[in-house]
Each structure stands twice: as C-alpha cells, then as structure tokens.
Structure 1
C-alpha cells in the first residue's frame, strides 16, 4: 500500500501540466485521468490502495493546477495528445491507463489509437463520448460559436469561504456527489480572488462541443483496443441515464465489466475500497 504522494509538473511545448504521483518508480507505469471539471484529486482515495504501480494522476489542461489553452483549444483528442506528451516526458514508451468519466473516454481513445503503447486500460463509469451524426454538425458548431461569443460577458463566482465552494460543488454539479468527495476535488480546484475563492477551471471547458464523434467513430476506438481492458460501472452512475449506451457497451466482449453500487464518483465515495480491489487485481494480472 502506497500512502504517500508528491506533486509533479511537466513543461510541455504549449502548456504546463501538473499532477500527483504515488508508488514505486519501479512499479507498473500508470497514468490516471480524471473527469470533466474534476482534477488529480479524483484518485486520492484509490491510489494509495494500489500495489506495485507508479501512478501519475494528471490535472488535464484547463483543470486543477495545470495551465489553460488558447481559445478553441479543448477537445477529447487534444487532451489525449497531452497525455502522450506527458508519457514522453516520463520516458514511458509503454504504460497503463486509468480513467474516470471524461478521463475514461480519453483512455479509450488513446488505447484504441496507439494500442502498441498501452499495456492495460481501466475505465470507471465512462467509455463512449456523447455522439451526434453528420447532419447535426452545423447546428452543433453554431451553438459553439454563439456560446464562445457570449463567454466574455460571464464572470466566475467568488465564494467567501472554501466551505461555500464545496456546497456549490455538491449542489451545482451535473452528477450527485457526496460532500467528502467534493471536498477532495475543491481543495485542488480553487484559487484566491477578490478576498475570497473562485474556480481555477478554465471557463472554456463549459462551452458546448463544436464537433462530436459519430456513433461509428466512438465505437471504432473501443473495438481497436488490444490491451487488457476493464470497465467499472456505477449502478447509480451517469451511464445508467442512457440505456442505449449500456446496450452498446455489453457488445464489447473484450472488455471486463464490473458493476458496483454507487454514484458516478464511486471511486471517491463508499465504494472506493471495492473499486481499488478490482483495479489492483486487474493490474496485478499483467505481471
């Protein structure tokens, strides 16, 4: 059990990326990717429970302590490219992945695109991105343009205490989350502002996607995964809001699938030990 962690930082060609690292540098190289609007604190509960891994949890660009990208810079494939740049900085030609939600989607994209570099891919309550078909592209792009033009008029909220920011995260999130879990994310997600606290997160991340994969695109990445793969689904998680997605996931027979009681952030809540047990067994099997 690796209980201690330390901060890491990577100077990439276009951005500074921060993160947290646990474990023995001689252990299995493992990069962990958090969900949308979360940060590396997403893995604080399970990382110490994983044996024989060198886990590096990133703050993806625009999140946590990492830098922000220029206008229009965020996409799933851009985030995936950043992960590969970090792997280069670490000197990891081959490595494993662990992703939650958006991070799980990015994990699938990387594992399907460069399967020769990925030794294993584990995903928590996430696999396929939101998709749309070709005929929807003009409307989606128009929504992005409209929101981008209006973004300059918006201001980040300022809270007079960290506790109020935690409450805002609990009440205002897109998925239910416990106060304890929210506290771990908020700790890394705030910065001082105007005598109070505001979010570090890049507001651009709130913009609608200008371009989405089609269903066929999304499925092709998952079908192209060649490494051992594992998916942990929360019985009260985000995937269960979309039964048609669950039906599609069942067809990916090359992915181990586990279902646990809990919400979308089950790895930060009561189910964390169960999640860690599944992941520990999954990564140990690689040896």
Structure 2
C-alpha cells in the first residue's frame, strides 16, 4: 500500500495511491493518524494524481539521518580533507545526526538556495518511518516497528557544512534548509520481496542532474540493515510513530561531494538555480526538485573575544 499527503483544490488531504489516482481519507485524517491507528479508514472518490501537489507523506516528530554506506564515507572524507579510507569508529555503530523536522518538502517542490550557500548538493537516501513506539529494541524486534519507506533527499550546503563542522559538532545550517520526502510512503510489506539472503533490501537507486545520470547504487550496499538502525536509535531512548530514519547517502555518485573527492575537483559542479535533481528508488518511486534562488543571509556578528572576568571580580 502507498500512502500520500497532497494538496488539491486549496485543501490538504491524505489518502491511498491506487495507480494514477488518489483515494482520499476523510477530511482531517493524516497519514500519521493512519500509522498510529494501524488501520486505514474508508476512502472517498478518486482524485487524479496529475491534478495534485504531493506533500511530504508525514510530518515527522523527529528526523535521524544515519551514514550507513561505507563508500559514501570514503568519498566525502577525501573531498573534505583529502584523507583516505574510513574511520575505524564508523564500523562500531551506525552514527546519525538529528535533522530538522520542519524542513520537509514534497516530491516536486522547488528548493531555494540556502542563504549564503555557494556549494549546494543533493543526497540520495531511503528513509524508514516508524509505526510503533518502542525502546531498547533488538534488531529482530525493530523490524516490526517499521511501518514503511520513502525516498529521502538530504539537501546539503557543503560550504556551510564544511566550515561549521570545524567546531567539532555535527552539521547545523549546512543541513537545515530542506529535505525531500516522497513521493509517498510505501508500507514495509510491499518491499519484503526485495530482501536478499542477508536481510537487506536490494533496491536500485539512481540519481540524475538535469536528466544526466550521475549516480547508481543498491540499497543493499548499506553497512547495516534498517532494523539495525532502528534498534540503535532506540537504545536508551524511544522511537515513536512517524519518526523518520534516513539511511544516509548511497555510494557511487549518491551525492556530488563523493564525486568531488574521487576526482579531486568539483566535477560535476555544485548545484545552481535552474538545476533539477531527480532521484529514483526501485519499489518506491521518484522525486524531482528544481533549485531556485534563495534569500540572502541576514548578518550575524562574529563572537566577541572570551571575557576573562570571574564571579566576585
């Protein structure tokens, strides 16, 4: 089953995708409501997909973005500081950072350039969406807590990200402006036939810029299964319905920065207004977003030198 959120006739609705039409839920019922309830309400008259604007299928309470592809780590590391290989710590556990749940955009929405960015990049990922609350899950238990999957494009301002991460924390404004979710949420049962002998989802991934293929990979090249990611996220914490967990960027051209690291130069060049990025995931669907001009950054003063006075002085 495929569940979508959409705008039609000035009204925001959710429903089931059936071929080239949408079967809407009752007014006010969202995909997240359906996930929490564990059942699908009766649907209304069909609406042609061609007549709607697809929205992110869920408004996630939280977003965790992992870095589960070894090849991506290797390429981007070389791009950032010309260091070869993958850090040993990467193999110990599936690292993630928390993303901005308010920055979700739909499958065909325009993407404004982040303020001050001169090196915009895409990232081809797949995200799991949580269907049941849980904590301290084993990977085996975690499989039953995944409701479905969607395409995830983690738009990245590489120049902003590179500078801010020198402070020693994770990315902030370099990842804060937009994340594409869509085109819909595919329930986990639909993708079970794609599992390989090791339990990984063997889905073909393709990235295009302006109609030219720049990346191809398999989702099964992840270092961990989604069940492992969910289990780790739930360690000492809770995952709840609607939470989004990104796979991290695939290898072999899943983003431009990886190619820059491999080639030693910005080839292909960073994204500019007018460029269209199209990402396709076998079994799920396609998202295609066009970059447009963004706002100029509002100036923020540099930090003042640290005061040396102490209490009582």
- TM-score normalised over the length of structure 1: 0.27
**Relative CO higher for 1 or 2, CA cutoff 8 Å, sep ≥ 6?**
2
Which has the larger helix fraction?
1
Which has the larger strand fraction?
2
- TM-score normalised over the length of structure 2: 0.25
Q: Which has the larger radius of gyration?
A: 2
